[in-house]
Amino acid sequence: MSGLDGKTILVSGAGSGLGRAAARLFAQQGAKLVLLGRRAEPLRETLSDASIATLDHSDETAVAAFAQSCPPLDGMFLAAGQLLTGSVESTPTEAFDAMLRANLRGPWLLCHHLGPRLNPGASVVLVGSNIALRAIPDSAAYSVSKAAVHMLGQVLALEWAPRNIRCNAIAPGPIHTPMLEARLAQSPDPAGDLARLSRVNPLQRLGHENEVAHLAAHLLSDESTWTTGTIIPIDGGAAAVY
């Protein structure tokens, strides 16, 4: 019997990057998966035999309708999100609002509407960021939205504890996914940026999607039944040093 045997787990953002790697690992560990994203094809590519739900997680009508048909859940890994660069002064207010919708309203709505579908003993993992723990230049709206996700995880840990449901947030450093690729593609010096990103942590490299997936699997499993309300950096040690 492996870590997630028999559990039904929803993964948002499952068509790409961290969500895709996690969904595949959870399936290998025996979980039944419900994959969520805006486009069906990438979700099918992740796992052809999983249930899929195509919706924008910031659309309350769509999330509420999905919650009516969603099976009872033993876990959620809420990885869907978007990245936006810019400072407080350079970010248009509409772009700030869009960032909050994509990174905060989405997981909030999923927890609001799917919370009642969680079985006793369930576990939820939210995806924040290590740049929501320490400020860096040029990612203002993103960092602020992810800092709110960290607090959402702590509030839910408190609210769900009487039902023996746990909630934790993870705070990854840079991982080589399509999101990071898109950011590098906008840079005048992608190779230099990649090298700089790799140097900011003691282990001197980017993270791998599977390293994050294994942490999420641990938090969703019964190996971690006393772990709730935490914000766990997974960043090669970056959060530990200046």
CA-closest candidate to residue 148, choices 166, 167, 133: 133
CA of residue 86 relative to chain centroid, distance: 21
Per CB under 6 A, does 177 bind ligand NAP? yes
Total number of residues that touch ligand NAP (CB under 6 A): 30
Per CB under 6 A, does 16 bind ligand NAP? yes
**Minimum CB separation from ligand NAP for residue 1, in Å?**
29
Beta bridge partners of 234: 172
Per CB under 6 A, does 79 bind ligand NAP? yes
Q: Which residue has the tokens 């449901």?
A: 165
User: Is residue 57 within 8 Å of residue 76, measured between CB atoms?
Assistant: no
Residues 147 and 109: their CA atoms lie apart, in Å, by 17
**Minimum CB separation from ligand NAP for residue 199, in Å?**
15
Nearer residue to ligand NAP within complex by CB, 67 or 164: 67
Per CB under 6 A, does 139 bind ligand NAP? no
Residues 234 and 125: their CA atoms lie apart, in Å, by 13
Residues 96 and 197: their CA atoms lie apart, in Å, by 24
Selected from 8, 29, 129, 143, the binder of ligand NAP by CB under 6 A is 129
Per CB under 6 A, does 233 bind ligand NAP? no
Contacts of 195 (CB under 8 A, 6+ apart): none
Binding mask 19-58 for ligand NAP (x = CB under 6 A): x-----------------xxx--x-------------xxx
Please count the other Cβ atoms lying within 10 Å of the Cβ belonging to residue 228. Answer: 21
Selected from 11, 18, 63, 148, the binder of ligand NAP by CB under 6 A is 18
Name the closest residue to ligand NAP (Cβ).
17
Per CB under 6 A, does 3 bind ligand NAP? no
Per CB under 6 A, does 190 bind ligand NAP? no
Nearer residue to ligand NAP within complex by CB, 59 or 119: 59
User: Angle, to 10 degrees, between the axis of helix 106-114 and the axis of helix 60-69?
Assistant: 30
The two structure tokens encoding residue 197: 């990103």
Q: Does residue 242 have an active-site annotation?
A: no
Of 70, 142, 166, 177, which residue is the catalytic one?
142
User: Is residue 48 within 8 Å of residue 146, measured between CB atoms?
Assistant: no
Beta bridge partners of 10: 34, 76
Q: Could you list the residues that contact ligand NAP (CB under 6 A)?
A: 12-13, 15-19, 37-39, 42, 56-58, 79-83, 102, 106, 127, 129, 172, 174-175, 177-180
Residues annotated as catalytic are 142
